[in-house]
A and B are shown apart, each in its own frame.
Chain A
Amino acid sequence: MDYQEQINIKKIKKEKTNINKKQNNYTFEISRKRINNRILLNNILKKVFSLSTVFALLVLGLLFYRIAIDAKGWIDLQFLTSNLSIFAEKAGIKGAIIGTVWLMLIVAPITMSIGVITAIYLEEYAEKNKLSAFLKVNISNLAGVPSVIFGLLGLTVFGRLMNLGSSILAGGLTMSLLVLPIIVVSSQEALKSVPSYMKEASYALGADKWTTIRKVVLPVALPGILTGSILSLSRAIGETAPLVVLGIPTLIMKYPTSAMDNFTALPIQIYYWTLDAVLTREYANLAAATIVVLLAILFLMNSIAIIIRNKFQKRY
């Protein structure tokens, strides 16, 4: 080790003196102090990084713990299958669960079809010019627009202009707008990851563009597209602000039977029960129980996404 180091130093000295022929007294020495300082810095940074991760996890853990404590004893079959009630013991979230399912039935087909088609257009068909670059950047920007703004847009366009009020359709369309950019961006990434040599192989056999997309690009990109879609849908399930802006009520008189009916959804339920917890303490427990249900659904969806990703990941 030491021997090797000496050789290296010698070599460097030699090279340096060759380069700097004029400054014959130039020498190169490895400063032990510098190396020690660097190793010290390295160790400190390692601790800082791991500490910040631990901090984030701790906060999350604390949150889960509080919710679990509050929800304890409140989640049972009765809670999942009952209607709202002013009596906390009798109250349930059946209406909210049905509403959330309805919402997904609107959001999933709309966003997945329009989103994937848009991504295919942008990645495969659109000419690479300033306009398409501008479009791409702005779709990414849209993905970062706060959800309350999408709520306002939905209220104006769907709620008032199209007169859909607080119906499932209004909520679903608003949520679709919110999720669409995310699905477009993630589908674009999935399409981009299809190696170009595979497309070339298809073109070289006389395939046209659409055949190549249908037979080669989409099958390879599908796991990525599905993963992105599921993650985006789980965002739509948890999103509250647009529904609040649209005036989605928590109390509904009857379960929705069509997309034009009024509805309520899990995050709305959580929101109003939390607000009313100042009046009736048990509402806080109901909110916590609903949060647990919502989180369970989200974890389930994300697990499915991860399973799909791992199962189909890069078989080529």
Chain B
Amino acid sequence: MKTEEIVFDVKKLNLWYGENHALKDIEFKIMKNEITAIIGPSGCGKSTFVKTLNRMTDNVSIARTEGEVLYHGRNIFDEKLRVEELRTKVGMVFQKPNPFPKSIFENVVYGPRIHGIKDKKVLMEIAERSLKHAALWDEVKDRLNDNAYGLSGGQQQRLCIARCLAVEPEVILMDEPTSALDPIATNKIEDLIEDLKKEYTIVIVTHSMQQAARISDKTAFFLMGDLIEVDRTDVIFTNPRDQKTEDYITGRFG
């Protein structure tokens, strides 16, 4: 049975990049162990939205937020909340595979290492578990000490997922994780995402509506910084309430 536990409760979230109002009064609930897909045309604020969920927008000096994002009831903008802690619970996979210029092993154990695990045996176990989880273990188990840049793009992206899993997050944010990959690598990642759903809550930004339809439980449609509609994916794609959503998913604009 699925528990209807709320992981993120977004309340009246507004975000500005300087003068540019990028997110407008977003109200949104993200449920545990669900895949939430975020779709919308370029520049609609969907990437910005996921980056707010683990406060990666902090790194953009001109970004300013208002409103609340409750993570298990706690506002992530609370000054007492340590952003480093939040990010170990809410991991992120980026658009372009971005491994460190280190060995495959060092990439996976980077997170555990900086959080204080020094024991080689423990690190090895974490690496094996995470790589297996990311469906990469069989391909790299004989060359864990090779540089990660020797891997193919799809493998690098799965390595980044493994690296994210190694810190045992609860939520994984994915910002167009397959947009730089070929169809076969994309397939593998999609299978992996569906697999991960059992244990993780996933929010995925995607340009591909087919991808959203294939893998997600809920879909949210963003347009010009507004959240137009969020609902079960089958509802969004068969019977959207808003005309704009229908126009977008039927390809009339975007």
A residues with a Cβ closer than 8 A to B are 127-128, 195, 197-198, 200-208, 211, 215-216, 219-220, 315-316
B167 to chain A: closest residue by CB: A205
New A-B contacts (6) at CB < 8 Å, excluding given A198-B100, A204-B91:
A195-B98, A198-B101, A202-B100, A203-B87, A206-B88, A208-B84
User: Bound complex: CA of A184 vs CA of B17, how far in Å?
Assistant: 31
Instruction: Chain B residues near A200: list those with CB within 8 A.
Output: 56, 59, 94, 98
User: Bound complex: CA of A206 vs CA of B92, how far in Å?
Assistant: 10
A-B pairs with beta carbons under 8 Å apart, 5 shown: A197-B94, A202-B110, A207-B111, A216-B100, A219-B101
**Which of the residues A128, A207, A219 comes within 8 Å of B114, measured between beta carbons?**
A207
Instruction: Tell whether B218 is near chain A: CB-to-CB under 8 Å.
Output: no
Instruction: Chain A residues near B244: list those with CB within 8 A.
Output: none
Known: A127-B61, A201-B160, A204-B164. A315 touches B101 (CB 8 A): yes
Total interface residues on B, CB under 8 Å, equals 28
User: Bound complex: CA of A211 vs CA of B88, how far in Å?
Assistant: 14
For the complex, would chain A's binding face be called helix, strand, loop or mixed by DSSP majority? helix
User: Bound complex: CA of A195 vs CA of B43, how far in Å?
Assistant: 23
Contact B56 A203 (CB under 8 A): yes
Instruction: Tell whether B96 is near chain A: CB-to-CB under 8 Å.
Output: yes
Instruction: Report B109-123 CB contacts with A as 1/0, cut-off 8 Å.
Output: 011001100000000
Contact A316 B88 (CB under 8 A): no
**Which of the residues B61, B96, B167 comes within 8 Å of A197, measured between beta carbons?**
B96
Instruction: Tell whether B233 is near chain A: CB-to-CB under 8 Å.
Output: no
Contact A206 B56 (CB under 8 A): no
Contact A205 B87 (CB under 8 A): yes
Contact A128 B164 (CB under 8 A): no
A195 to chain B: closest residue by CB: B98
| Cβ-Cβ contact count across A and B, 8 Å cutoff | 66
Contact B149 A205 (CB under 8 A): no
**Which of the residues B85, B101, B160 comes within 8 Å of A206, measured between beta carbons?**
B85
Instruction: Tell whether B54 is near chain A: CB-to-CB under 8 Å.
Output: yes
B55 to chain A: closest residue by CB: A203
Contact B88 A215 (CB under 8 A): no
Known: A197-B94, A316-B149. A205 touches B114 (CB 8 A): yes
Instruction: Tell whether B163 is near chain A: CB-to-CB under 8 Å.
Output: yes
Q: How near does chain A come to B230, taking the closest CB pair, in angstroms?
A: 24
Q: How near does chain B come to A117, taking the closest CB pair, in angstroms?
A: 22
User: Bound complex: CA of A208 vs CA of B147, how far in Å?
Assistant: 24
Which B residues, 71 to 127, have Cβ-Cβ distances below 8 Å to chain A? 84-88, 91-92, 94, 96, 98-102, 110-111, 114-115
User: Bound complex: CA of A127 vs CA of B98, how far in Å?
Assistant: 26
Instruction: Chain A residues near B160: list those with CB within 8 A.
Output: 201
Instruction: Chain B residues near A203: list those with CB within 8 A.
Output: 56, 59, 87
User: Bound complex: CA of A211 vs CA of B149, how far in Å?
Assistant: 22
Contact B111 A197 (CB under 8 A): no
Instruction: Chain A residues near B88: list those with CB within 8 A.
Output: 205-206
Q: Which 4 A-B pairs have the closest CB atoms?
A: A206-B88, A316-B101, A204-B92, A206-B87
In this complex, which of B92, B114, B167 has the most chain A Cβ atoms within 10 angstroms of its Cβ? B114
B54 to chain A: closest residue by CB: A204
Q: How near does chain B come to A124, taking the closest CB pair, in angstroms?
A: 11
In this complex, which of A201, A202, A207 has the most chain B Cβ atoms within 10 angstroms of its Cβ? A201
Instruction: Chain B residues near A208: list those with CB within 8 A.
Output: 84
Contact A215 B101 (CB under 8 A): no
Instruction: Report B122-154 CB contacts with A as 1/0, cut-off 8 Å.
Output: 000000000000000000000000010100000
Q: How near does chain A come to B10, taking the closest CB pair, in angstroms?
A: 19
Instruction: Chain B residues near A197: list those with CB within 8 A.
Output: 94, 96, 98
User: Bound complex: CA of A208 vs CA of B115, how far in Å?
Assistant: 10
A201 to chain B: closest residue by CB: B98
Q: How near does chain B come to A240, taking the closest CB pair, in angstroms?
A: 41
User: Bound complex: CA of A128 vs CA of B62, how far in Å?
Assistant: 10
Contact A315 B149 (CB under 8 A): yes
B113 to chain A: closest residue by CB: A215
Contact B114 A215 (CB under 8 A): yes
B112 to chain A: closest residue by CB: A205
Known: A206-B84, A206-B85. A211 touches B114 (CB 8 A): yes
Instruction: Chain B residues near A207: list those with CB within 8 A.
Output: 84, 111, 114
B149 to chain A: closest residue by CB: A316
A194 to chain B: closest residue by CB: B101
Contact A205 B110 (CB under 8 A): yes
User: Bound complex: CA of A282 vs CA of B21, how far in Å?
Assistant: 78
